[in-house]
Structure 1
Amino acid sequence: MAYLFSHHSPQFDRSFLAASEQKLTDAILAALPASVTPRRLTKVGVIGAIIAAAAVIGCRWSPAWLPVFVVGIALNWLGMALDGPLARSRNETNRKLEVFGQTNDLLSHILLIVTFGASPFLSLQSAFVILVCYLLFSAYNYVRTIAHRARPMAYIGLGPSEFRILMAAWPFMAQVTGVDEIASDGPTRLDTAILILAAFAVIGLAAKTLADARELAVRK
């Protein structure tokens, strides 16, 4: 969807970092050579996700993998945040690019969430709870995009970039607070907290869905 809708869509629920991210992406796009294409940027994003996924698993054995993980997240953002704007700036938007970019963005996030469950920073159970929430929100975003002709929404100010920042920051926070899910037997307090937060998130999504449905009914 990123190839079809502008950040300036009147129905776009802007995230906390949307304005700053727009300025940064505009500056980077202005410096990109013609040889850099939207498809290549999408591939850079996928490679970044694979690097980050391998590094977060590597943290099971050594925290020295953490800088590699951050580099992977940065590459993932670089590719996935710039492919759509570059396509629009060059008038190269089409359905093929849209599907290619959106599918790889989705798969990259799924890969990162699942591999967190194999790291010391999150249990597999919590990773799957987060994955279920992510898929629910993604599915509703696709429905909402078609119904409202708007770019995918940000939930309580959190969009893809904020989500990546949280992923990049969590391993460091976990180290500071002494989280080690590998050494834990059975559900931990972190698992319980994530389950409660997930429940509130799903309730919020249900409320948002009902509000959007009422808005559509009024328009008709």
Structure 2
Amino acid sequence: MTVLSQPPKALSRIQQNWLAAKERRLLNWLCAHMPAQVTPDVLTATGMVGAVMIFAGYAASNADPAWLLIAIIGYVVQWFGDSMDGSLARFRQIERPSYGYFIDHSCDGLATLLILAGIGLSPYVTMDVALIALAGYLLLSIHAFLSARVLGEFKLSYLSAGPTELRIMLIALTVMMMMLGAGPGLFGVWSGFDLFVGGVGSILILLFVGQTWVTGQRLAQIDGETLDAKN
């Protein structure tokens, strides 16, 4: 016998990044003008195409820095697909909460892997530094998913920055790669790009530790009040 699960409770989306309001206006305009044949699934696939373009652009930059243009275009394509799929579903009121949540964030994880693996395969950033950034991003994602489960809050931004601001930072970093080229590195080991990517990764890891502490204290208080109410 197949047991059907109940639909998940609606999550409170917490988005406090700098560009949130302007981005929302743009996304709403795009949703209103999107052709009927374009579906949220098509947009999700478009986002993954963008991630593959980013990976290919960085990897191919070993042969010619001009390939980094493909990575820059890929960031725009990936933003469009990743930001529009859920927005279009909500705009058209065709949300599939369980399916959408699962597919969207599964693709987010794979896209992040492709992006940072591509950066690590480029001549500008070493793979071990790229993996530190990947670990930081995935740890913070784990925190967001756990908070969604225990608090019903899905946090989309930290330190007033979200995925869109992060993409802009990475585009700027890629432009600097094209302008400055691959340097010899600090002490012959780390380049300035290594220090930037590693620094961002370290900040993400510290954010995870700090947010885990804060959320843990909040949950302890909530559970304590629940126990007191029962007694």
TM-score under structure 2 normalisation?
0.82
Deviation at 1:216, TM superposition (A): 2.4
Q: Distance in 1 between matches of 2:145 and 2:158?
A: 14
Q: Distance in 2 between matches of 1:31 and 1:62?
A: 38
Which of residues 170, 188, 191 is equivalent to 2:190? Answer: 188
Which of residues 213, 218, 223 is equivalent to 1:210? Answer: 213
8 Å contact kept, 1:49–1:72:
yes
Counterpart for residue 89 of structure 1: 91
Amino acid at match of 1:39: D
Q: Distance in 2 between matches of 1:53 and 1:214?
A: 39
Would the alpha carbon gap of residues 43 and 193 (structure 1) be closer, same or farther in structure 2, given more than 3 Å must change?
Answer: closer
Q: Distance in 1 between matches of 2:200 and 2:66?
A: 30
Amino acid at match of 1:75: V
Amino acid at match of 1:104: C
Matches within 5 A, 1:32-43: 32-43=34-45
8 Å contact kept, 2:72–2:174:
no
Which of residues 68, 74, 78 is equivalent to 2:70? Answer: 68
Which of residues 56, 59, 73 is equivalent to 2:58? Answer: 56
Counterpart for residue 169 of structure 1: 172
Structure 1 residue ranges, 4+ long, deviating more than 4 angstroms after superposition: 3-6, 183-186, 192-197
Percent sequence identity over aligned pairs: 27
Deviation at 1:196, TM superposition (A): 5.2
- Which has the higher Rg, Structure 1 or Structure 2? 2
Does residue 1:104 correspond to 2:100, yes or no? no
Give 3-state SS (helix, strand or coil) of 1:151's partner.
strand
RMSD of Structure 2 on Structure 1 (CA): 2.5
8 Å contact kept, 1:4–1:98:
no
Would the alpha carbon gap of residues 126 and 55 (structure 1) be closer, same or farther in structure 2, given more than 3 Å must change?
Answer: same
8 Å contact kept, 2:124–2:181:
no
TM-score under structure 1 normalisation?
0.86
Give 3-state SS (helix, strand or coil) of 2:189's partner.
coil
Give 3-state SS (helix, strand or coil) of 2:14's partner.
coil
8 Å contact kept, 1:39–1:101:
no
Deviation at 1:84, TM superposition (A): 0.5
Amino acid at match of 1:22: R
Does residue 1:21 correspond to 2:23, yes or no? yes
Would the alpha carbon gap of residues 80 and 134 (structure 1) be closer, same or farther in structure 2, given more than 3 Å must change?
Answer: same
Q: Distance in 1 between matches of 2:199 and 2:38?
A: 43
